[in-house]
Amino acid sequence: MKTVKFTFLSALLVLLLGACGIGEEKSTGAETSGGQEDSHAEHGDMESDKGVHPLEVDLQLPETSGSGEEVTIRSIVTMGDEIIEDADEVKYEIVNEAGESEMILAEFDGEESYTIKKTFDAPGTYKVTPHTTARGQHTMPTKEITVE
């Protein structure tokens, strides 16, 4: 008796699941519910010039510097071809070889970058990371500078 119930329920389940697909036409996206064609070709690809672009930071600093010399550190923040002048935050983290770090807030320089001046007092290799937040995105590339 249990086998008969199991077989009946299994067959019923197969019929119900199979019936879900009957009568539905696969949509190609070319028609609306009224049967009219609705071409979206003119909108282009979502990754077009008007689409969402990732936040990119071009971090610029010298590879080497002398101890006690002032260094200019710049970040050009872009999304696609647009220079971002209104980033929510650009904060430079500078980490020495001992793992000690300092954070320096940068302001937009009015031209194309977020710039700071930094004097490295001790020789060593430092990691420079601009923590950059703009338009709902965050990125933090890292480069090194060797101070002699």
Total domain count for the chain?
Answer: 1
Element (H, E) at 143: strand 143-147
Tokens of 60: 């610029």
The answer to whether residue 3 is domain-embedded is no
The answer to whether residue 50 is domain-embedded is no
The answer to whether residue 111 is domain-embedded is yes
Output DSSP code: residue 23.
Answer: T
Identify whether the C-beta of residue 87 lies closer than 8 Å to the C-beta of residue 132.
yes
CATH number (domain holding residue 141)? 2.60.40.10
The answer to whether residue 66 is domain-embedded is yes
Write the single-letter amino acid at 29.
G
3-class state of residue 30 by DSSP: coil
Which domain, by its residues, includes 78?
Answer: 55-147
The answer to whether residue 123 is domain-embedded is yes
* pLDDT tens for each residue of the chain, 148 residues long: 667 666 766 665 566 666 665 554 444 444 444 444 444 444 444 444 557 899 999 999 999 999 999 999 999 999 999 999 999 999 999 999 999 999 999 999 999 999 999 999 999 999 999 999 999 999 999 999 999 9
